[in-house]
Amino acid sequence: MKDNLKNFPEYLHRINRSYCKEVPATVKTQQFVDELINLLFPFRIKEKFTISGIRQKLDELVNMVESLLAPLVPDLKEKPAIICSRFFDKIPVIYKMLNEDANAFIKFDPAAESVEEVILCYPGFYSIAVYRFAHVLYELEVPVLPRVMTEYAHSITGVDIHPGAQIGWSFFIDHGTGVVIGETTIIGDNVKLYQGVTLGALFVEKKLAKKKRHPTIEDNVIIYARSTILGGETVIGHDTIIGGNVWLTESVLPYSVVYQKNTVTVRDSKDIQDQINWVI
């Protein structure tokens, strides 16, 4: 073991020096995400901010964003201060959107008893919140940082939303685990997704990087658990219901109901003559 490690420090040092791209610090990005959410919803940390306290916290968050943008300066389209200003100009709208999202959870989940419960406990809401912040930075053409933010939410919630996706108002992800929403997905207003839903691409090729690869989901669509919808030209028309375990690679007209017919047989175990061996 010692012999294997003898020259490793020199090798590691050389390899690490070869990485030319500067990137934002992961831990500081995660801290920024949580502090921003905690400012908008301070009951998460049992805090009661005064107006002056809110202003002070916003100043701190501005400094945090500028610090996170500093390593990316060579690849930014505008100066960090301008990007930061444009990002925080969007916060009031994002706050309204998040309240609409939280109310969608209340409206559609019988188990949700209050907005506070949704914001505190629901992984779907947390993943949507982080996505909405990251999406603003993505639209400002900030590299890397939006992905660090959404991958942080992914690691906590199991919900994978690319910051490039376009998602409308009153979005609801129930349970959340295993949901995947690709970069060029477009989702309208009042859309509901359940666990295991994938909105993905038909082909994974580098040359398609700038093309629309993921589906469009129009307003008032419900997509139930473990359904997969693929393709940039696939459009799910408004007010459609997609049942569980459906595989779709073609468009669906508005007001459709799409489901897979399964046959489940239930028999009395006394009628089975041969022993069934379950192998797990």
Q: Three-state SS across 201-270?
A: CCCCCHHHCCCCCCCEECCCCEECCCCEEECCCCEECCCCEECCCCEECCCECCCCEECCCCCCCCCCHH
User: Residue 280: what pLDDT?
Assistant: 44
Check the CA dihedral 179-187-183-202 and report its sign. Answer: positive
User: Residue 230: what pLDDT?
Assistant: 97
Q: In the chain, where does the domain assigned CATH 2.160.10.10 lie?
A: 178-262
Which pair of structure tokens corresponds to residue 244? 């569980």
Other beta carbons less than 10 A from residue 42's beta carbon: 15
Instruction: Say how far apart CA 48 and CA 32 lie, in whole Å.
Output: 19
User: Residue 6: what pLDDT?
Assistant: 80
Other beta carbons less than 10 A from residue 135's beta carbon: 22
Residue with tokens 């129930």: 174
Question: How far is the CA of 17 from the CAs of 70, 154, 267, in angstroms?
Answer: 19, 29, 66
User: Residue 279: what pLDDT?
Assistant: 47
User: Residue 19: what pLDDT?
Assistant: 82
Task: Annotate 91-105 with b (16+ C-beta within 10 A) or e (fewer).
Answer: beebeebbeebbebb
pLDDT tens across the length of the chain (280 residues): 566 788 888 888 888 888 878 899 999 999 999 999 999 999 999 999 999 999 999 999 999 999 999 999 999 999 999 999 999 999 999 999 999 999 999 999 999 999 999 999 999 999 999 999 999 999 999 999 999 999 999 999 999 999 999 999 999 999 999 999 999 999 999 999 999 999 999 877 666 667 899 999 999 999 999 999 999 999 999 999 999 999 999 999 999 999 988 777 777 766 656 555 544 4
- DSSP E strands: which ranges in the chain? 160-161, 166-167, 172-173, 180-181, 186-187, 192-193, 198-200, 216-217, 222-223, 228-230, 235-236, 241-242, 247-248, 257-258
Contact (Cβ atoms closer than 8 angstroms) between residue 118 and residue 125: yes
Contact (Cβ atoms closer than 8 angstroms) between residue 62 and residue 88: yes
User: Residue 60: what pLDDT?
Assistant: 97
| CATH dotted code for 18-158 | 1.10.3130.10
Which class does domain 178-262 fall in?
mainly beta
User: Residue 195: what pLDDT?
Assistant: 96
Q: In the chain, where does the domain assigned CATH 1.10.3130.10 lie?
A: 18-158
